[in-house]
Chain A
Amino acid sequence: MRKFFSPFFKYNTYLLFVAYCCIALLFIKFQNDDMLTRLRTGGMETSAFITDKLQSYGYLLNLKDENERMMQLNTRLLSRVLTLESAVSDERHLQEIEREGAIKTAGFIAARVVDRKFSDRENMLLINVGRRDGIKKDMTVLVPEGLVGRVTAVSEHYSRVMPVIHTDFKVSVISGLSGSMGLLSWNGGREFIAQIEHIPISSTLKLNEEMVTTDFSTFAPRGIPVGRVVRIKPDKLFYSVDIRLSVDFSSLSEVLVAPLKIDPEKIEMMSDKSPNEELP
């Protein structure tokens, strides 16, 4: 018996090898068997799962680079968004200006200067539009270059205009750059030079700054150009400022009359007696 088994003990390595090979060959032979197919499928699924997880960890390891890439992308996108937002804002602003301009233009009345009385102390313009055309007293007269004056008297077909270069004419003006405010008047003399009063010494007004009408005026719409600062001379409390007027009065022939800008409540508040004061 021992003799019978001795070759098995002697060649057990080869027998084991044959056994392993037989098992392997059986697996090859029955590799399409249902159970083996399921086993293979399970192995493949597990393999795919592990690979997926490993790739996820790889992604995590590369997260710093990815983060930097995303930051750069974000910066580019943010810049584009800001550009687009500013473009949209500008467009909206332009539309608003256009809309407001259209309304104003719609209310404007074109007129022709039919007569003028220019002298050293008194200057008057006569335009060919009157009450029939919707002109009222205190309407603003202007040209695209700037402010011309205000309507002081209206007849059926004509209106009289007090120009800026009139000693009684006064309008509140503001500098577009420094925001310095003052009161424009004309003291006679040269027709293209006017004066601005009540600009305090503390203001930062500089030469060549453009002055425009303010919202404080009871008749003129704000933003109408008036002129540019040509001289600034400090006095005790205020500057003495000369401006060169935007409008060339010597060649004025066509003008526009702006709609009347009168806020009764504002005028009432500015008057001596306000409604509240009248209450018992």
Chain B
Amino acid sequence: MKRNIPFLIVLLGIIAMVQVFGLSRITILGVSPDIVTIFLALMAVLIGQKAGMSFGFLAGTITGLFSGNLGLHMLARTVEGFIAGFFHIPEQSHATARQKINRTYSAIVTAGFLANAISAAGYNPLGLSPLYRIVVLGALESLFTLILAIIANWLFLRKSLSD
């Protein structure tokens, strides 16, 4: 993946918009898959922790601006990018596409779960039990996001990850 930062920023903006105005409205068992998490995990794994974190901050700003909870979204997404950065594969490494994929999936699940936990802890509009929100909803959302990532991998990401 080329480090075309302006293109990636524009792409992030589009993905954030799709998440806010599209995917967030498709709810299964009260949660919806998160395409921004996939993007952040991919950036963090392929480019690095700083990139993942910065994109996370930017993504949190965009989604927070439209959802009305700016600070919490910024924090959750920044943490998401930061955690996903621990799964970074250096460019010089000889990791196979399969390894990259597995790392990305791991980053998605881990970072997504932590970001959901932060969001759940900071904002509880339905007054649900925090434990229920963190464990059940956070885990479910991470699972749905992982399924979406697998589908996205089959459809679009194979070539990018094998580069």
**Hey, which bits of chain A sit against chain B, CB under 8 A?**
12-13, 16-17, 20-21, 23-29, 31, 36, 39-40, 43-44, 46-47, 50-51, 54
Partner of B74, one of A12, A24, A44, A51: A24
- Contacts A13-B85, A43-B65, A54-B21 hold; do A20 and B70 have CB atoms under 8 A apart? no
Binds A, one of B5-13, B49-57, B128-136, B150-158: B49-57
Residues in B with CB closer than 8 Å to A50 are 17, 21, 66
Bound: A40/B63 CA distance, A: 11
What is the interface of chain A mostly: helix, strand, loop, or mixed? helix
What is the interface of chain B mostly: helix, strand, loop, or mixed? helix
> Is B21 touching A23 in the complex (CB atoms < 8 A)?
no
> Is A13 touching B49 in the complex (CB atoms < 8 A)?
yes
A-B contact count (CB 8 A): 70
CB-contacts of B47-87 with A (<8 A): 49-50, 53-54, 56-57, 60, 64-72, 74-75, 78-79, 82, 85
Residues in A with CB closer than 8 Å to B64 are 27, 43
Interface size class of B (residues with CB under 8 A): 20 to 34
Of chain B, the residue at the smallest CB distance from A46 is B66
Bound: A47/B122 CA distance, A: 22
**Hey, which bits of chain B sit against chain A, CB under 8 A?**
17, 20-21, 49-50, 53-54, 56-57, 60, 64-72, 74-75, 78-79, 82, 85, 122
> Is B66 touching A47 in the complex (CB atoms < 8 A)?
yes
> Is B20 touching A47 in the complex (CB atoms < 8 A)?
yes
Bound: A44/B63 CA distance, A: 11
> Is A21 touching B66 in the complex (CB atoms < 8 A)?
no
Instruction: Output the least CB separation between A241 and chain B (Å).
Output: 82
- Contacts A24-B75, A25-B71 hold; do A17 and B21 have CB atoms under 8 A apart? no
Residues in A with CB closer than 8 Å to B50 are 12-13, 16
Residues in A with CB closer than 8 Å to B85 are 13
Instruction: Output the least CB separation between A45 and chain B (Å).
Output: 10
Residues in B with CB closer than 8 Å to A46 are 65-66
